[in-house]
Amino acid sequence: MLRSIATFLCLRCQPVTALPLNLRSRATHSVAENQQTVEALYDLSVDIQKVRKLKGWVLLQSPAYTKEVAELLKNMGASGPIIAHILTSHPEAVLCNPEQIYTQKELWMSVCPNQRELVGVIEKFPASFFTSSSHHDNQRNNISYFQSLNLNKRVITKLMASAPQSFSRPVEQNELMVHTLQHAYQELGGEEANMKIWLQKLLSQNPFVLLKPPEVLRENFLFLRDKGFSTPQLLHLLSRLKGFVAELNPDSMRRTLLYSQDTIGCSETELRGIILRCPALLYYPESTLAERFESLLSAGISMCQITATPTVLELTTQIVNYRIQRLKARGYDIRTGSLEVLNGTKKDFEMSFGKLQLRRERPLFNPVAPLKADD
């Protein structure tokens, strides 16, 4: 009995030849995917495997408007590789109704100088352009509002691209935050004539400031005022921090200020002076500051040098160490020299390094040395 049962099971469990992996993959995809979409994307040289891996659900949808979207982008001046890049990084674009996209194009062209620049924006921020049609009214109202502020078109375009959420919500929310920023600027002594330029710079530096609750801004200023910063100093911080002032909160600033004061060993008055020269110290967490202080001190730099040029703390330890090594190779002793040569962007540093090298190579003129005369 047992032998017959075993024989029966063996016959039932004969191995089945498996399909090759690539064929199984195609079989699975062919059943579920919209083949018209897949073929159209293939024709456009879109990386289908990447789309399947990251956003495979798009290939299951119907209807899709792949050819129509590609044609619209082409008519705007997008090349084949750019179209492929856009649809690979944001394949959801093929699900947008052509009429919806034409409406979106009209909205963007009201602030974008030309179609070529719009294509560049779409290439970098496709999700900002291919949005739901339910947001069009809010987008239109927000565009009109920012135009009424006489903001530069490029600034409005940057806002729409970098922080599309601020344009998809009711205009009243943006009005409230802008009014809060303007009121803070005026209350701190800012001049009316400079307010538009100031607001443009602030929004350009951090478009996400519009998404912050206005109360955050008020709480941060109250905290800094309690810490002894005067009205002109608060205006200076607001201008230097730009939109990042809304990223702060009293608890984090309290911890950062306490850590900085203990590490530097200075008074509150001295710390305020350092903060005014390097406002970024307000938003770095203690762990980041600890790493940067330790890196500088371990390189033989004194605390006096750091407080004289506190902006060096804005640089990562990797950048500081790299620049110190380059300066050391040229014979510059960072332990006795100024830290200003370390500061700035990569371009700034290369310029300072070049000037330093030029000074070393240029011979000094001695006015009392005898001149060599030809025999």
Task: Please check whether residue 117 lies inside any domain of the structure.
Answer: yes
pLDDT value at residue 18: 38
Asked whether residue 359 carries a pLDDT value surpassing 60, the answer given is: no
Q: Over range 144-151, report the average pLDDT.
A: 94
pLDDT value at residue 4: 46
Q: Tokens representing 178?
A: 């802008």
Task: Please check whether residue 87 lies inside any domain of the structure.
Answer: yes
Q: Over range 167-182, report the average pLDDT.
A: 94
Q: Tokens representing 207?
A: 């478009």
Of 7-11, 240-244, 347-351, the range with the lowest mean pLDDT is 7-11
Task: Please check whether residue 201 lies inside any domain of the structure.
Answer: no
Task: Please check whether residue 49 lies inside any domain of the structure.
Answer: yes
pLDDT value at residue 114: 92
Q: Tokens representing 112?
A: 């974008």
Asked whether residue 163 carries a pLDDT value surpassing 50, the answer given is: yes
Q: What is the pLDDT of residues 8-23, one digit of tens each?
A: 344 444 443 333 434 3
Task: Please check whether residue 84 lies inside any domain of the structure.
Answer: yes
User: Would you tell me how many other CB atoms lie within 10 Å of the CB of residue 8?
Assistant: 10
User: For the chain, what's the residue count?
Assistant: 375
Task: Please check whether residue 93 lies inside any domain of the structure.
Answer: yes
Helix axes 286-298, 317-329, angle to 10 degrees: 10
pLDDT value at residue 358: 54
Q: Over range 132-157, report the average pLDDT.
A: 92
Q: What is the pLDDT of residues 85-102, one digit of tens each?
A: 999 999 999 999 999 999
Task: Please check whether residue 290 lies inside any domain of the structure.
Answer: no
Asked whether residue 370 carries a pLDDT value surpassing 60, the answer given is: no
Of 2-6, 181-185, 252-256, 260-264, the range with the lowest mean pLDDT is 2-6
Q: Distance between alpha carbon 85 and the CA centroid of its chain, in Å? A: 20
User: Would you tell me how many other CB atoms lie within 10 Å of the CB of residue 121?
Assistant: 18
Asked whether residue 301 carries a pLDDT value surpassing 50, the answer given is: yes
Asked whether residue 46 carries a pLDDT value surpassing 70, the answer given is: yes
Structural domain containing residue 124: 34-130
Task: Please check whether residue 44 lies inside any domain of the structure.
Answer: yes
pLDDT value at residue 232: 92
What total of structural domains would you count in the chain?
1
